[in-house]
Amino acid sequence: MNRVYVCSCFGVTDKQVKEHAAAGACTPRQIASATKAGTDCGSCVRTIQGILGRGACPRRELLEKGDAAAVLAADPAPQLAEAA
């Protein structure tokens, strides 16, 4: 199995970032809340931004519609199983 590490400080892989993004994390800050990636040296933040891209973000879409209550009610850091 070929692992591509995004964050060397905390051993976070691109697969983990993609899983959290699929579960609703839209920003590097939300990825950091879930994985700690980007909270130590910070060199992986741009890579995380690249993985997240500018695709659809449910929270951003809710904010644009003016539904801030739904954004606040959403779980900011979905807990996923650790990648083996």
pLDDT digits (tens, 9 = 90+) for 14-33: 999 999 988 888 899 999 99
* pLDDT score recorded for residue 69: 62
Placement of tokens 């040296």 in the chain: 41
The H-or-E segment that residue 13 falls in is: strand 12-13
Region of poorest pLDDT, from 29-33, 68-72, 73-77: 73-77
Q: State yes or no: pLDDT of 63 exceeds 80.
A: no
**pLDDT top residue among 19 and 57:** 19
DSSP 76: S
Whole-number Å distance between alpha carbons of 67 and 51: 26
Average pLDDT, the chain: 80
